[in-house]
Amino acid sequence: MISLAAPWALLLLPLPLLMLRLVPPHRERVPALRLPFFRRIVDVSGVAPGPGAVVLSRTRLQMIAALAAWALAVLALAQPERVGAPVEITRAARDVVLAIDISGSMDARDFRTPDGAPKQRLAGVREVVSTFVEGREGDRMALIVFGTRAYVQAPLTEDLGTIVDLLARTEVGMAGPHTALGDAIGLAIRTFEASAIEQRLLIVLSDGADTASRMSPVNAAEIARGESVEIFSIGVGDPDARGEDRVDLATLRDIAARTGGAVFFAGDEAALRAVYARIDDLAPREVETLSYRPRQSLAWIPLALAALVGTAALAVLVLGARRRAAG
């Protein structure tokens, strides 16, 4: 489909006629003597004639060429363009950050597979989280791992395969033996600063009480609430254990409640899968659709035609003048 980006420019089409009527050509009468055979008299006498009255007239070719060139130039100003079929782009309307605890306690083999076999906590978490990530095609996600310190493994990206690969290479203790839950939340908040999307979801998975943070998890959750970050916290491990191996469900519940999120406890692999299914229900994938039509400018075509018409008319006039001079 061909359309005009600036159709108002067509209002300039009658401008030459208006100029001709409102500002007519300047004419001035001067005294002159008209002689028959003027050119022959001048040649015989050897006298150079002075300027006389000249009335310029335009040929029909000049008028047609001038009007055509003007119409084509105005058409170019109207910016004709070819408009293509609508193209729709779907993108995520929310960003998700995963914060995974890889402290020393994640090495415990008390995590159960669906058939009841014991499994390392981190191994079970990796498998379930990878499935969750792969099912969120189109979302932007980031990965944070934390132990004694918190680190960004992958910034916000739509390349979910990279997040799955990085998670598969994560080992227990890589970030230190202790648990810095508050620092992980703070790092997630900084990660969201690179996002212009208002809806932000942080999923925190931890199996121990906070023992190494420079900022308490509760204070970090308050800051997260101010940044419109919703926290879903998941506890894995043994709530009855002692020390750093004890899952602090009270803290996880507090940080989720402060941001309008939810808290879950997953004692085995099946429960963890159910938790992520529940998160999908509570926070379904949200997208926004952008639609546009590709446009290709065609203004060069009338401009080229106007130049061609002007050049052709000038060539015809020059050749005609030469023929008359030679005759």
Say what the pTM is: 0.62
Domain CATH for 273:
3.40.50.410
* Residue 217 included in any domain: yes
* Residue 231 included in any domain: yes
* Residue 242 included in any domain: yes
Q: Which residue has the higher pLDDT, 281 or 80?
A: 80
* Residue 26 included in any domain: no
Q: Which domain holds residue 177?
A: 89-290
Summarize pLDDT for 5-30 with one digit per residue, the tens. 888 988 988 888 888 788 777 766 76
Tokens of 92: 């995520």
pLDDT band at 231 (very low <50, low <70, confident <90, very high): very high
Tell me how many domains the chain contains: 1
Q: What pLDDT does residue 116 have?
A: 76
Q: What pLDDT does residue 241 have?
A: 66
d(CA 137, CA 124): 22
d(CA 271, CA 121): 13
pLDDT(161) > 80: yes
Beta pairing class for 80-83 and 2-4: antiparallel
Q: How far is CA 172 from the centre of its chain?
A: 38
d(CA 55, CA 28): 10
Nearest of 322, 317, 325 to residue 57 by alpha carbon: 317
pLDDT(97) > 90: yes
pLDDT band at 93 (very low <50, low <70, confident <90, very high): low
Q: What pLDDT does residue 187 have?
A: 94
Q: What pLDDT does residue 55 have?
A: 53
